[in-house]
Amino acid sequence: MTLLAHAITAAPPAALSPEGLRGRPLAWSEAAAGLGLWSTDWTPDLKLERPDALEHHRLVERICAAQPCLPVRFGTAFANADAARASLDKRAETLHAALARVSGKSELALTLLWRDQAAVAPRSATGPGRRYMEQRRAELGAREAKRARAESMVERIVTELAIERPLVWHETCTTANVAVSLAVLVPTERALDRKAELGRIASEFGDVITVLNGPWPPYTFARTE
């Protein structure tokens, strides 16, 4: 029997329904450092499937609705309760700090996709070598311009939301299509209002398409690396 992890919380645990993934028992493993892990009793011969990922998300939502939690990456497993406790105790200080950061908050996720993906045309030149160098120069220039534009959009979002930097995570230009991937932590009771504000700000950027999700558990901010 193994433990399929769902979320880390502080002790004592909230009162939850005892049903975990696929109706199997939901288990609580408490560590010495005042932390604990919610997990499903699992067996290695059971293969995880896509519906299980969706159910894991619903379980995490249920746990986070009951008490502040750090969602665990889907598929993370521990050999037994002792292994789970040892992992929590080893990272206790960092995990407590992360729990304090997400307490009372939910995550909003924003992706901005470039509208214009037209290829960069090379400048007029003679000879294949010169044409290649001109093309490369034009591509690098366009790439840097897009990165600068993406960073400027992030700055505007942070400024207009008036949100503290530790409550924002972002990456820019991770692929040719993605301008910005951004997540923010907002008070849960104001999450829908803040989502509307974020959507309004992003809608003013004419060169990107907005994809806005949440509120949901603080997946991005559960990272402790």
Q: How confident is the model at residue 119 (pLDDT cuts 50, 70, 90)?
A: very low
What pLDDT is stored for residue 195 in this prediction? 98
Q: Is 157 found in the same domain as 144? A: yes
Residue 181: CATH number of its domain = 3.30.70
pLDDT at 123 over 70: no
Q: Which residue has the higher pLDDT, 133 or 49?
A: 49
Q: Are strands 26-30 and 77-78 parallel, antiparallel or unpaired?
A: unpaired
22-36 tens-digit pLDDT: 999 999 999 999 999
Query: Where among 52, 71, 102 does a domain terminate?
Result: 102
Q: Is 138 found in the same domain as 37? A: no
Q: Is 184 found in the same domain as 172? A: yes
Give how many domains the chain has, as a whole number.
2
pLDDT at 102 over 60: yes
Q: Which domain holds residue 51?
A: 2-102
- In eight-state DSSP terms, residue 90 is H
CA atoms within 13 A on the CB side of 121: 2
Query: Where among 46, 68, 102 does a domain terminate?
Result: 102
Query: Where among 72, 102, 132 does a domain terminate?
Result: 102
Distance CA 137, CA 122 (A): 9
Tell which phi-psi region holds residue 98, choosing left (phi > 0), alpha (psi between -120 and 50) or beta. Answer: alpha
pTM: 0.84
Q: Is 91 found in the same domain as 11? A: yes
